[in-house]
Amino acid sequence: MINKNMSNILKRIFVLRNNTYRNKYIHTSGINFKIVKCKLFDIGEGISEVEITQWNKQEGDQVLEMESILTVQSDKAAVDITSKYSGVLVKKYYNEKDMLKVGSYFCEIDTTDEVTDSGDGEENKNVEEIKKKELKKEKMEKSNDNIPKSTLKIDNSIKASPGVKKKALRLNINLNSVAEHLNKKIISMEDIDYYIKLKESEKIDDKKSNESDMIENYENLDIIEQVELKGIQLAMCKSMNNSINIPMFHVNESYNVNNLINIRNDINSEIEKKENIKISITSILLKLISNTLKEFPKLNSKFNQKKNTYTMFKNHNICIAIDTPNGLLVPNIKNVNKKNIVEIQKDLLNLREKAIDMKLSKSDIEDGTITVSNVGSIGGVFATPIIFDHQACIIGISRIQKQLFLKDQSNELKTLDDIIVANTMSLTYGADHRFLDGATVALYGTKLKNVIEGLNTLDPYAVEF
């Protein structure tokens, strides 16, 4: 016990000595001989691993109970990890950008708080848990003795129970292929059943699935770097893999946005000083898209492929694709149908700032009902966006460009005076063809076209218009 206490004192002295700009002397009265290891507990949503994006406290810093120690990023959202104790952070186990598994220790805190058994009980408990896991593993390995070895030759990172392996063997299914196709590390009975359904519907090519068993051979190429996808990029990969088997179709419509630009300029001249913001074309479009959706609720829905049902929603939670230095993020503005244009613009700016700073919460990401991707803000006159998160529809917005038109939508050119130059924008609608038909989407696009091109005035504070 004496040795352990001396070790804790030395740790504290070492940290304080290397942080002289924080402490000019050693304040031993705060030492309580209690070094507590902090563990990353379950943060929900089936998340097993996160990336450390920022340490909010450094070694030698004072930490208060419930104060944020670090910020982590899962494939869904950013989460602040808070301290259970007050004290001093004496050791960090990981650096920024490192991956941290749920259940792992990430730092040590020298605390003056009461800790049961000075943390020894917690460590003993962990030892007992490890022993139980090892016993369970031995039992599983003994059970696996009854399974042909050929079935067990799966990737070490892929986990499956003996029952799942037996079923895969009986049905002649390669678990590596199941894991790759579903982007999962833990395979369940339900995953096997779902994979079988996909095979029966001929949505999976066995030859293509077996490509995962091939060894990469780049001997004749000069490699720059091999990059492992993680965090946001891994989430994007999973989302696209889930969408690849959805039968999609696209409808494109061109819009004259002269009136829209003029109205946006009028609104900004009125509210820029008052609200300290500028209204963007995107914010106005979001409101017009929402208003038009009321007549087409089927586009604001999600599909359940297991039940072959779709669910329509009253909430217009419009997802916005935001390009960030860390990858593409798709948070959503909640209840656009109940907000005015000024409120939508403020929400959009707030989400963009949080996305760039990697501060999006779970609530910012969850419960989206339809998506808008403004690729035109970066570049591109045409796009074919891909739906995700089981949504029925995604709308791609192109950049504004000038085009020649005939006046009054005439079909005949009589003189050069009949030609006008207009600002135009293309909107591309991507939809799930399993329950949406082309006519419904085309009608929505035409209705929205009439609304946009028929605008004369717009009240930025009106919810209904």
Task: Write out pLDDT tens, residues 408-437.
Answer: 777 788 888 888 899 999 999 999 999 999
Residue with the bigger pLDDT between 74 and 450: it is 450
Please determine, for residue 126, whether its predicted confidence score (pLDDT) is greater than 60. Answer: no
Strands, DSSP E only, in 203-326?
Answer: 248-256, 301-304, 309-312, 318-320, 322-324
Assign 237 to helix, strand or coil: helix
Phi, psi of 242 (to 5 degrees): -70, -25
Beta strand 318-320 with 370-373 is: parallel
Largest CA distance in the chain: 101
Contacts of 204 (CB under 8 A, 6+ apart): 177, 181, 195, 198
Least confident of 29-33, 176-180, 273-277: 29-33
User: What's the confidence (pLDDT) of residue 63?
Assistant: 93
User: What's the confidence (pLDDT) of residue 202?
Assistant: 56
Judge contact between 398 and 382, C-beta under 8 A: yes
Query: What DSSP state is assigned to residue 176?
Result: H
Least confident of 74-83, 299-308, 442-451: 74-83
Answer yes or no: CATH 2.40.50.100 is held by domain 2-114.
yes
Among candidates 245, 242, 152, which has minimal Cα distance to 205? 245
Domain boundaries, the chain: 2-114, 146-232, 248-453
Q: How far, in Å, are 80, 207, 238, 267 from residue 230 at the CA level?
A: 18, 27, 11, 42
Residue % of the chain over a pLDDT of 70: 79
For the ranges 35-44, 147-156, 210-219, 254-263, the one whose mean pLDDT is highest? 254-263
- In this prediction the pTM is 0.67
Contacts of 216 (CB under 8 A, 6+ apart): none
Answer yes or no: CATH 1.10.760.10 is held by domain 248-453.
no
- Classify burial at 313, counting beta carbons within 10 Å of its beta carbon; exposed 0-12, middle 13-18, buried 19 or more: middle
Interval 246-282: pLDDT, tens: 899 999 999 999 999 999 999 999 999 899 999 999 9
Please determine, for residue 351, whether its predicted confidence score (pLDDT) is greater than 60. Answer: yes
Judge contact between 303 and 389, C-beta under 8 A: no
Please determine, for residue 187, whether its predicted confidence score (pLDDT) is greater than 50. Answer: yes
Among candidates 257, 246, 311, 320, which has minimal Cα distance to 283? 320
Least confident of 127-136, 366-375, 436-445: 127-136
Judge contact between 250 and 396, C-beta under 8 A: no
> Same fold for the domain at 2-114 and the one at 248-453?
no
User: What's the confidence (pLDDT) of residue 121?
Assistant: 46
How far apart, in Å, do the first and last CA atoms of the chain sit? 74
Please determine, for residue 154, whether its predicted confidence score (pLDDT) is greater than 70. Answer: no
Task: Tell me the mean pLDDT in the region 16-43.
Answer: 60
Contacts of 189 (CB under 8 A, 6+ apart): 163, 164, 167
Taking residue 105's Cβ as centre, other Cβ atoms within 10 Å add up to 17
Task: Tell me the mean pLDDT in the region 323-333.
Answer: 87
- Classify burial at 199, counting beta carbons within 10 Å of its beta carbon; exposed 0-12, middle 13-18, buried 19 or more: middle
Per-residue pLDDT band for 210 (boundaries 50, 70, 90) equals very low
Please determine, for residue 211, whether its predicted confidence score (pLDDT) is greater than 50. Answer: no
Residue with the bigger pLDDT between 177 and 16: it is 177
Task: Tell me the mean pLDDT in the region 12-21.
Answer: 48
Q: How far, in Å, are 53, 71, 226, 312, 362 from residue 68 at the CA level?
A: 13, 8, 33, 39, 17
Contacts of 400 (CB under 8 A, 6+ apart): 257, 261, 281, 376, 423, 424, 425
